[in-house]
Amino acid sequence: MKVSLLKIGLALIIVGAVWISIVFAETEKIQDVTNLKQSSSFEIKLEFSGTDIGFYKVHMPEFAGQEIFVQILDVNDNVIQEQTVQTRMSVGYFDFNESGAYTVKVTNLAKNQVSLEIEFGNTNSKEMIPAGIMILVGSIAMIVMSYLKIKNYKMAQPDENIS
């Protein structure tokens, strides 16, 4: 059985994608579901260590045009990121470079109650680098092999003088 570079590239991409999904599934994160009344706020705190990239995901299952305000606070309660969310689901990323408790603060700007599902955690992006390199190598191998196969492909052309 002959194994081509195209199949090796595809295998590298699949293994890398599975590896990244496993690393992300094992990240330290916290989830909570809450109902926010008008002008009320909700906070979630989580301990981060080292330097990496954190994430938050806000989902409003019963979205009807409500607006919420999301802030990420660092160890010293300084705002490091803020965003107004007017969609059913929003995902945001932020850099952290100090160990300690980080906070996501969500404030309801709508005139009615909003139900929220909030997820907050660390992406462990540094552990994803080898898997990302594997995906890159697999992609380049597939592109090169596809180019080489297409380059030598001859397409039959119809005769010009068909009457």
Tokens 């160890």, residue located: 75
Of residues 92, 101, 93, the one with CA closest to residue 48: 101
Rounded to whole angstroms, the Cα distance separating 117 from 153 reads 52
Average pLDDT over residues 49-73: 91
Of residues 145, 61, 72, 82, the one with CA closest to residue 104: 72
Residue 57 has a pLDDT of 94
Q: For 15-24, how does the pLDDT look when each residue is reduced to its tens digit (9 = 90+)? A: 999 999 999 8
Residue 152 has a pLDDT of 75
Rounded to whole angstroms, the Cα distance separating 28 from 121 reads 6
pLDDT band at 28 (very low <50, low <70, confident <90, very high): confident
Termini Cα distance of the chain: 48
Residue 148 has a pLDDT of 85
Percent of the chain with pLDDT over 70: 93
Of residues 6, 113, 95, 4, the one with CA closest to residue 55: 95
pTM to 2 decimal places:
0.76
Q: For 95-145, how does the pLDDT look when each residue is reduced to its tens digit (9 = 90+)? A: 998 899 999 999 998 888 899 999 999 998 889 999 999 999 999 999 998
pLDDT beyond 70 at 56 = yes
Average pLDDT over residues 30-54: 90
pLDDT band at 87 (very low <50, low <70, confident <90, very high): very high
Residue 1 has a pLDDT of 64
